[in-house]
Amino acid sequence: MIAVGAGFGAYLGSRRLGGPKPWLIAAWAVALLLDPLLGLAGGTVVVATARWQRAAAATQRKRLADSDVALFADLVLLGLGAGLSLRSSVEEASRHVVEDLRVEVSRLIEAMDRHGVGPALGSVGGRLDRFGRVAAAAALSGAPVAMAVGAYAATLRHAEHAAAVERARRLPVRILLPLALLILPGFVVLAVGPAVLQSLARLGPIP
C-alpha cells in the first residue's frame, strides 16, 4: 500500500513539475520501494535512456540546421534574383529554415542593421561563416553578389551529393554486419540443431 501511494505521489509530482513520462517516474518509485536494487537499476536505465534521447534530438537538430544552410543560400539567391537587397533576401530566407539556423540568421540581420551589411557579413560566424565571407568579398570587390552566392550554394549541393554517395557506399557494410551477427548464426542453429537433437536422442537417457 505504501508503494502504491508513493507511486501515485510521484506521478502527481512529475505531472505538476512538467516532467517527462510521469507514469514512468511512478513505476520507478514503486520499484524502488519494493526492490531497491531493481529500482536503482531501473532508474539508471531511465536516466541513460533520457540522456541518449536528448543527445539524439540535439544531433538531429544540428544535422537539420547544417543541411538548411544550402537551402538558405538558395533562398537568398532567389531573393537577389527577384530584385531584393541582400539584407531583405537574408531576412526572407530566414523564415524558411529550421529554428537553430534562424537564430543565427537573426543575429546576422541585427548586425547588418547596427554595423552595415558588409562588416556584418565579414564578421559572422557559426554555420553562416562561409556564406558571410563569400558575400562580403563579393560586395567589397564590386562583383555580383548573386553570382557569388549561387556558386557557394552549388558548392554546398555538390558536397551534400558527395556525402550522400559516400553513405550509399557504406550501406552494404552496415547491412552485412547484422546479417553476419544475427541471421547467419540463426541459420546455423536451424540447420544443425535438428541433427544434434537426433544424435542426442540416439544416445538415450543418461543412467
Render pLDDT for 28-53 as a digit per residue (tens, 0 to 9): 455 555 555 554 555 565 555 556 55
Q: So what's the pLDDT on residue 165?
A: 82
Contact 121, 136 (CB under 8 A): yes
Residue numbers of the domain that contains 20 = 2-60
* Burial annotation 151-166 (CB, 10 A radius, 16+ → b, else e): ebbeebeeeeeeeeee
Q: So what's the pLDDT on residue 113?
A: 92
Per residue in 93-116, pLDDT tens? 999 988 888 999 999 999 999 998
Task: Report the alpha-carbon distance of residue 19 to residue 205 in Å, rounded.
Answer: 59
Model confidence at 128: pLDDT above 70: yes
Look at the chain and report how many structural domains it folds into. Answer: 2
Average pLDDT over residues 176-197: 70
Task: Report the alpha-carbon distance of residue 47 to residue 190 in Å, rounded.
Answer: 38
- Residue 193 covered by a domain: no
Helical residues (DSSP H) of 18-144, grouped into ranges: 22-34, 36-81, 86-94, 99-115, 117-123, 129-141
Residues 31 and 94 in one domain: no
Contact 111, 86 (CB under 8 A): no
Residues 132 and 93 in one domain: yes
Nearest CA-CA partner of 19 in 40, 41, 47, 44? 47
Residues 114 and 28 in one domain: no
CB neighbour list of residue 151: distance below 8 Å, 6 or more residues apart: 134
Q: Which of 20-29, 76-85, 197-206 has the lowest average pLDDT?
A: 20-29
Model confidence at 1: pLDDT above 50: no
- Residue 15 covered by a domain: yes
Residues 13 and 79 in one domain: no
Task: Report the alpha-carbon distance of residue 60 to residue 199 in Å, rounded.
Answer: 53
Better pLDDT: 36 or 200: 200
Q: So what's the pLDDT on residue 180?
A: 66
Give me the amino acid identity at 24.
L
DSSP character at residue 20: S
